Amino acid sequence: MDQTTSPEAPAVRVRGLRKDYGGAPAVDGIDLDIARGETFALLGPNGAGKSTTIEILEGYRLRTAGEVSVLGVDPAHGGLDWKSRLGIVLQSASEPGQYTVREQLAHFARFYPNPRSVDEVIAAVGLEAKARTRISKLSGGQRRRVDVALGIIGRPELLFLDEPTTGFDPEARREFWNLIRRLKQEGTTILLTTHYLDEAAQLGDRAGVIVGGKLVDVAPIHELGGAGARVPLVRWRDRDGTPHEVRTERPGELVASVTRDLGGEPDRLEVIRPSLEDIYLDLVGVAGAIALDDEETLA
């Protein structure tokens, strides 16, 4: 595999990634490139294989098969120099509660060759008022901010964010989004997993949807599912109660035609333009049904 670290090479390159547990695949043949400076959102239901994929890329978990390059290095053999180029925010962390926020960040900063200013990071995550507070005294949302602060203190080239805003209130989430945008402007590559589709839409350049260990779609956020997934849906009932449901690129023309035919506005008329959530649920549902059919066929 090409281990180059040139600016043109992707930050993450994955081919045929597979991870088995007890002979069953948790990750099943993923191919993926993430460009340097890109923010990529990995979406999928619980148990789909998101965390396993992320852990393999971080070097925490060994793969069963496939090729992986992260910043030009195979994560299975990444040393301390390589690890110092990564920032990692796990789904949950258990930081020692006896240290203050400032003490913990200052301690971690010493592990990196070019760390950010501790005060800069504390301000970036909105913990100025809690800088001298022991971590054990913080709320759940404030501890989550400490997790994020520890992930960015080393000025990473590639930042892994696994459900980063869990426990954040709406205002804190917006502040976090602004922080991620600043990191992106600095050239940081970001791999984000989230259950908040609005978060993916706000932050992501592209997204991938993983279901049953397979990557079922990869596209810019507002192109997921393809053009057909965004065709409006028109629903109505005839005067005798017969339901109708038609997808059309010209919903206005269809409604006008139906109205003329019925001599008045149809009953229970709806024009539905699929949201990102609708498209995501369709992708997950269709892929899940296919996986279930495959399992039944094999059985």
**Residues 254-276 pLDDT 10s:** 999 989 988 888 888 999 888 88
Which residue segment(s) compose the domain that 283 sits in? 227-298
- The whole-model pTM stands at 0.81
Q: Is residue 273 part of a domain?
A: yes
129-139 pLDDT, tens per residue?
999 999 989 88
Q: Is residue 159 part of a domain?
A: no
- pLDDT at residue 287 greater than cutoff 60: no
CB neighbourhood size of 207 (10 A): 26
Q: Is residue 172 part of a domain?
A: no
Provide the β-strand partners of residue 27: 19
Q: Is residue 77 part of a domain?
A: no
Of 123-127, 227-231, 286-290, the least confident: 286-290
- pLDDT at residue 94 greater than cutoff 70: no
Q: Is residue 26 part of a domain?
A: no
**Per the structure, how many domains does the chain have?**
1
